[in-house]
Amino acid sequence: MATLQTPSSLFRSFLLTLCLFVIPSLSSDSDPLQDFCVGDLKASPSINGFPCKSSVSASDFFFSVLGGPINTSNPNGVTVSPANVLTFPGLNTLGLSMNNVEFAPGGVNPPHSHPRATEAGIVIKGSVFVGFLTTNNTLFSKVISAGEMFVVPRGLVHFQWNVGKGKARLITAFNSQLPGSAVLPSTLFGSMPEIPNAVLTKTFRTDDETVNKLKSKFAV
């Protein structure tokens, strides 16, 4: 004979479900279980990052690549210099990372998303048009200048465009040691294996010739 659950038992079951599934999802990366764990990049990563190095030194906790300047001579006129667990293993298990983003005049950081992190950034130099799109296709955007800050909620598509007369520079920070980046143009037209043309022509209401031209531009 089946046992009927009372309202109080159902409520307790609901609270247990919250504890097991909802509450852990509020943080991006898992919390560390020790003071630090400098990543051993020669080992395979686990769910919370890389295994710890057996021997560390002071140099493991300092990183100088964010200083710039960096070369922005590329089709988009933007270059990103990352400080994440893959370039700065001292960040392993700490749940944060940063980027130095530099723009040539007119440079664009194309529409992209970070599936594992919220992004916060500050303009160091120049004037930058920053925008992100919500899941109901609303654009929030503003031109910001040196000293001004922006935030992009986790996973939302966003972009930056240098609208000033000279070069521009941002420093961005993420609540993940490896936020990931899905850049829409190269993701859609440069994937391996390729997305079938039939999918892309239907999606963008265009033809094979146009899709093939775009694929040639973004081929890996």
User: Hey, what amino acid is at 110?
Assistant: P
CA distance 219 to 35: 43
102 is in an annotated binding site: no
Strands (E), 68-178: 78-83, 97-103, 108-113, 119-125, 127-133, 139-145, 149-152, 158-162, 168-174
Q: Give the burial class of 129: count Cβ atoms within 10 A of its Cβ; 0-12 exposed, 13-18 middle, 19 or more buried.
A: middle
Bridge-partner residues for 120, per DSSP?
151, 173
Nearest Cα neighbor of 110 from 150, 143, 141, 76 is 76
- Classify 41 as helix, strand or coil: coil
Alpha-carbon dihedral 57, 61, 65, 66, rounded to 10 degrees: -170
197 is in an annotated binding site: no
84 is in an annotated binding site: no
User: Hey, what amino acid is at 5?
Assistant: Q
76 is in an annotated binding site: no
158 is in an annotated binding site: yes
Cite the annotated binding site for Mn(2+) by residue number.
112, 114, 119, 158
Cite the annotated binding site for oxalate by residue number.
99, 109, 114, 119
Cite the annotated binding site by residue number.
99, 109, 112, 114, 119, 158
